[in-house]
Amino acid sequence: MSPNLTLVVIAGMLVACGVTLLLERTLTRVLVGVVLLSNGINVLFLVASGRPGRAPFVTGGTTAEQMSDPLPQAMVLTAIVITLGMVAFVLALAHRSWQVDGHDEVQDDVEDRRIVRRAELDETSAGYDDETRENGDEDGAGVDR
């Protein structure tokens, strides 16, 4: 059995576009990225599940080889419900951000920028080591924080 190459390419493109949009700063693009990523993964589940067959609960002379596997279909349905919840959450975040700020762009946190700058300069570990050596404290009790 060989998978349908067209569906594999479509699923790959959906996943690639979804990941690209997830890396954007605006919440509406993140929302579209979540939807595209989810749809791409759902298509991959259905492609990987094998060839279509008869429904497993039909007993009218259907052999096991003719039946389709219900597990991938159940996983796709579960993924659709999870995606619906994620879309509703990101949509609520975007709506609230629009109400508060007038745009839906995610801003950098000032504290995160300060921590990154301090880590790049290595201020915390160098300052701690120098002050403990000067004061003679091994437990760091003489360090002002």
What are the angstrom distances between the C-alpha of 143 and each of 85, 123, 132? 47, 14, 7
**3-state SS, residue 63:** coil
The length of the chain is 145
Query: Does residue 19 lie in a domain region?
Result: yes
Residues 131 and 93 in one domain: no
- The one-digit pLDDT tens for each residue of the chain (145 residues) are 677 889 999 999 999 999 999 998 888 999 999 999 999 999 998 888 877 776 666 666 677 777 777 788 889 999 999 999 999 999 999 999 889 888 888 887 888 888 888 888 875 555 555 555 556 555 545 545 4
Residues 78 and 134 in one domain: no
Residues 95 and 120 in one domain: no
Residues 87 and 116 in one domain: no
The secondary structure element, H or E, covering residue 58 is none
Query: Does residue 145 lie in a domain region?
Result: no
Give the separation between CA 93 and CA 95, rounded to whole angstroms: 5
Q: What is the pLDDT of residues 81-91, one digit of tens each?
A: 999 999 999 99
Query: Does residue 88 lie in a domain region?
Result: yes
What pLDDT shows up at residue 145?
46
Hey, what amino acid is at 27? L
Q: What is the pLDDT of residues 133-144, one digit of tens each?
A: 556 555 545 545
